Amino acid sequence: MTDQNIVSQDVNLKRLFQDFYRVPSYQREYVWGEQDGRGEGGEQVDEYLADIFNEYQNATSDAAPEYFIGTIVVCREKDEVFDLIDGQQRTTTSYLTICALRDALTELGDVPPEEMKSQIASTSVDWQGETTARYRLDLQYEDAAGVLSLYADGQAKSANREGTRSIRNIGNAYDTIREFISVTFKDDPKEIRRFYGYLTNKVKVIRIETPTVTKALKIFETINDRGVGLDSMDLLKNLLFIHAKPADFEKLKNTWKAISDAIYRSGDKPLRFLRYYLLAMFDADTTLREDLIYDWLQRHGNETQHTADPVAFAKKLLNAAEAYEKFSKGKSVYGEPEAGIENTRSLGGKSIKQHFIILLAGRHLSKGNFSRLASEIEKTLFVWLVVGVAGKEYERLVVDAAHKLREVKDEGFEAFLDATLVKYRAELNDRFHSTLQNLRSYELRQFRLKYLLSKITQHFDLLAYGPSAGRSMLTDYTSGGNDIEHISPSGPDAAVLNEFGEGAQDVRVIQRLGNLLLLEKAINRSIGNKTYAAKQAAYSQSKFLLTKCQGSTTAQSIGVADSITKAMDKIASYPTWDKAAVEARSSFLADVGRIVWNTVPSPDTT
């Protein structure tokens, strides 16, 4: 090959594994065997085997169809070993399949073909006559920890299955292949040999050989352009290596691995993180979809500087990924528990993370201001969700605010809040109040309804007793130890019907917000569907002040400290319970809601 030539070959696996390959240390880990939270996974390995087997079944005694599994990109090094730049997943899986077929034959007492053995490991002789024993495939990135050699040596049973992602994924992939062989070929050595013959002779790849690693990386980019084959995160990594100096490869490799690990620990998708990072830190808008990220990066290199200084860009991305991981665990950018972030998870569920865009843009703020930002985001997001602001609309507002926040210094932070999050809530004040006043429980998801009641309940406890380790975190209220109590039960007996009067069986009344309160599970079980008169004494046993004060006789028996008395004075109590009381309490809670979520700032918030 001359210095500029690119050679493309159509080869079967037999020919492919007559050469030696290494996956360079800067490549990403093996991911095809990844399992989900239920312990299931390896879908790509299953599909790989199923697709090959489907073609294999079309073979006759005279001929068999070929099957193409894709393209790989390689660069030959001085030691005659090919660096595998693209195609690691399918090449590693093919290699593991040959190892698994050999092991299956061995365990059945059959002698594997010599050709099969030489496709797993062999020797090479250099021009000086020195012989070197090598595996046909060597994974050099740290995450692999040399585990593939154990499978190559027939020691799969003793191979470590815990540790890094690659160690687990390789083990999962091998187990998937062995299960496929056992189930499909019923431990018949003849059938296993026949399938191996098809695999090695008829399964093909296109191998593109380039003269330099840089050219290989550029071909990789071309093959996978616009997200075909790989996603924007992989293409970005490749792009950084293209523009990095070879001397920086090790540094860039380590930084990228740290980025990947942080996103993995966050439990989120890499592309979501990357999109949110670009929306937060650059002038991208919400039309930037995940599948358009790579194109956007190609057009905005002057802004991101990812091509001019790829190592510096990667370090910035790492800083953001580490912050993102903290946010996903309810922590601030400083690594401390942050009530606003944790509470937002309670009200939004795991799927709503658009607020991370503002958090990423506000990483430069002081501790106090960052906590305030998290709290303001929590309030604003709840207001949006309750009044039904569409996801696309509030994402647009989030991105607009993030673009402003990037340039805000601590001394200008209050003005920023007034112009954005506080303003957004104030504009929705009337809708928010009306929605709460008329809210029925079935109009909100259960976890969001519990958040609502918990926040209002917490509000009065904090007024009365002040902050504490338990009261300051909403989890003390939203935990499974507390129930949403229907003051007038949804399944009333004759006594309740007689006591409550009109509306006792009307779901539109019984499911009103005013008919709900937060109550400890043990107390709730003890009172069942009793009348209101019977429940009042039980409510007085609650540790939650709002619940204690539900009945007027209970309210009079509490309060020594001045702060408790002041808090009690703000709580509406109801000596009797009927449709009018439900209506009145719904209005009361809606009024409190405007204070808790600060849609109209007032002296009562202190």
Interval 89-141: pLDDT, tens: 999 999 999 999 999 999 999 999 999 999 999 988 877 788 889 999 999 87
Interval 130-153: pLDDT, tens: 888 999 999 987 778 789 999 999
pLDDT > 60? residue 3: no
Please give the C-alpha separations between residue 417 and each of 91, 317, 411, in angstroms, as whole numbers. Answer: 53, 26, 12
Interval 23-32: pLDDT, tens: 987 777 888 8
**Contacts for 200 with CB less than 8 Å, ≥ 6 apart:** 12, 13, 14, 98, 115, 116, 119
Q: What angle do CA 208, 210, 212 make, to 5 degrees?
A: 150
Within 10 angstroms of residue 158's Cβ, the number of other Cβ atoms is 8
Which of 117-129 are b and which e, b meaning 16 or more Cβ less than 10 Å from the residue's Cβ?
Answer: eebbbbeeeeeee
The pLDDT score that the predictor gives to residue 25 is 77
d(CA 477, CA 523): 15
Least confident of 272-286, 337-351, 405-419: 337-351
> Read out DSSP for 425-450?
HHHTHHHHHHHHHT-BGGGS-HHHHH
pLDDT > 80? residue 447: yes
Calculate mean pLDDT across residues 196-205: 95
289: helix, coil or strand?
coil
Nearest residue to 598 (alpha-carbon basis) of 356, 378, 374: 378
Q: Phi and psi for 486 in degrees, rounded to 5?
A: -90, 115
Q: Six-digit token pair at 7?
A: 């050679």
282: helix, coil or strand?
coil
132: helix, coil or strand?
strand
pLDDT band at 255 (very low <50, low <70, confident <90, very high): very high
Report, in angstroms and rounded to the nearest whole number, the Rg of the chain calculated over CA atoms.
Answer: 32
End-to-end CA distance of the chain: 77
**349 or 168, greater pLDDT:** 168
Interval 45-63: pLDDT, tens: 999 999 999 999 988 888 8
pLDDT > 80? residue 564: yes
Question: Are 18 and 201 a contacting pair, CB within 8 Å?
Answer: no
The pLDDT score that the predictor gives to residue 208 is 92
Calculate mean pLDDT across residues 588-598: 96
Pairing assessment for the beta strands 482-486 and 137-139 based on DSSP bridges: unpaired
| Element containing residue 520 per DSSP (H, E) | strand 516-520
Least confident of 221-230, 260-269, 366-375, 501-510: 221-230
